[in-house]
Amino acid sequence: MTEWEYAKQIIETIERHGGEAYIVGGAVRDYVLGSLPDDIDLATSLFPEDVMALFPKSVPTGIEHGTVTVIIDHHPFEVTTFRSEGAYSDSRRPDHVALGVSLEEDLLRRDFTMNAMAFHDGQVVDLFGGQHDLEERIIRTVGSPFERFGEDALRIMRALRFMSQLDFTLHEELRDAASVLGHKLEQIAMERIAIEFEKLLVGPAYKRALNEMVALGIHRHLPGVTTDLMNRVQEDERTPVNAASGWALFLYHSNDESWLLPWKRSNAIKREARTLAKLCETGLDEMTIYQTEETTLSTYFRMNGERDRSRELKQSLPIQSRKELQFDGRDALELGAKGEVIKHMLADLERRVVLQEMPNHETVLKEEAKRWLQRAGVS
């Protein structure tokens, strides 16, 4: 069964029990654009406890917003009670959300016309001209962009990331509002901005979106993002192929090792971005191939638009890790080496084996180790 068919099953079950349910949000947008989405969200007139009673496998994943995750055959679907949002006094979060409203009100709170459609029984419910805007390839807010960005400034970043993902154009009034209200992004949690920015960077039209960001002055409200940095990233011939490679380009062109810190990314992403930025600087040699994980090397080739040679380059090395070296700490101790000396000697032997300056043979390495210790004045 496709995800779409599972979603239909959920809708039918809800309807048999007197509720209404629709596919909503990004899934409807993607469907109208001609693709079958695999991440499908549903909205329903039923309250969360009623949804949970209907589906034996359901988890209250966001109960304060009315969201229950229903699991069918191991496939999860977010089912959210129709809701409207109260006033936003802080440009970030609504003061309260109200459950138990109509579909129309639920659609009214959504950000863009293309994201504010619903689907049910083969029909698209399109109250704000979402299909028209998709045809025109225009991103437009539901209602006044000044009001909608005033409520939640993250929507400015979302508009730019959809622009990049879909290669769409921002509606003129939306551009004006983004430019006037961009400063409100400074009140939004960095993690939320970073997630949208990552999606922007890996979108096919990321250069257009970065360009638009500068034109509207939005970049000035993001940490460490100067106009010069934006230009350099756009002029770089490498392309972000995932979040880490996107951050790597900024890191590389910023010439500032700590540039990524205020963006609050995970340690794993930071590490990979640093490694990639370094590779952009140095290029590949045997030692960097040896020291870099295969998946990171693969990303490096892809961001350079080259054939992915990560596997073959890794395999062409004499050893894959220190463990394969035919000489270890214990052998070094037997030759009378100690502490720091062992560390330096192993690193040196390892490097010379990787560079094929000598073979990875026990006896050869032992002789070489003796000579090394003599030179170091240890024995």
- Contacts with Mg ion by CB under 5 A lie at 26
Assess contact for 190 and 263: CB atoms under 8 A: yes
Q: Using the rule CB under 6 A, give the single segment among 111-119, 181-189, 224-232, 258-266 that binds ligand ATP.
A: 111-119
CA distances from 107 to 29, 134, 292 (A): 13, 17, 47
Q: String of b and e for 90-103 (b: at least 16 CB within 10 Å)?
A: ebeebeebebebeb
Element (H, E) at 83: strand 83-85
Residues 130, 231: Cα–Cα separation, whole Å: 33
Q: Report what 129 binds from ligand ATP, Mg ion, none; CB cut-off 5-8 Å by kind.
A: none
- Indicate the residue among 42 and 353 with the shorter CB distance to ligand ATP: 42
Total residues in contact with ligand ATP, by rule CB under 6 A:
11
- Indicate the residue among 133 and 152 with the shorter CB distance to ligand ATP: 152
Q: Report what 217 binds from ligand ATP, Mg ion, none; CB cut-off 5-8 Å by kind.
A: none
- Cβ 140 to ligand ATP shortest distance, Å: 13
Q: Report what 85 binds from ligand ATP, Mg ion, none; CB cut-off 5-8 Å by kind.
A: none
Assess contact for 135 and 114: CB atoms under 8 A: no
- Cβ 109 to ligand ATP shortest distance, Å: 6
Site string for ligand ATP, 130-169 (x = CB under 6 A): ----------------------x-xx--x-----------
- Cβ 30 to ligand ATP shortest distance, Å: 7
- Indicate the residue among 26 and 129 with the shorter CB distance to ligand ATP: 26
Phi/psi at 84 (nearest 5 deg)? -120, 165
Site string for ligand ATP, 197-226 (x = CB under 6 A): ------------------------------
List 115, 254, 310, 360, residue binding ligand ATP (CB under 6 A)? 115
- Cβ 26 to Mg ion shortest distance, Å: 4
DSSP state of 112: B
Orientation of helix 206-216 relative to helix 154-166, angle to 10°: 150
List 68, 82, 111, 156, residue binding ligand ATP (CB under 6 A)? 111
Residues 143, 130: Cα–Cα separation, whole Å: 12
The residue to which tokens 């220190």 are assigned: 322
Which residue, judged by CB position, is nearest to Mg ion in the bound state?
A: 26
Sequence-ordered list of residues with C-beta below 8 angstroms from that of 117, at least 6 positions apart, any chain: 24, 28, 29, 32, 107, 124, 125, 126, 127, 130, 131
- Cβ 21 to Mg ion shortest distance, Å: 17
Q: Quick check: helix, strand or coil at residue 377?
A: coil
- Cβ 175 to ligand ATP shortest distance, Å: 18
- Indicate the residue among 41 and 368 with the shorter CB distance to ligand ATP: 41
- Indicate the residue among 52 and 200 with the shorter CB distance to ligand ATP: 200
- Indicate the residue among 65 and 175 with the shorter CB distance to ligand ATP: 65
Sequence-ordered list of residues with C-beta below 8 angstroms from that of 105, at least 6 positions apart, any chain: 82, 83, 84
Assess contact for 276 and 248: CB atoms under 8 A: yes
Site residues for ligand ATP per CB under 6 A? 25-26, 39, 110-111, 115-116, 152, 154-155, 158
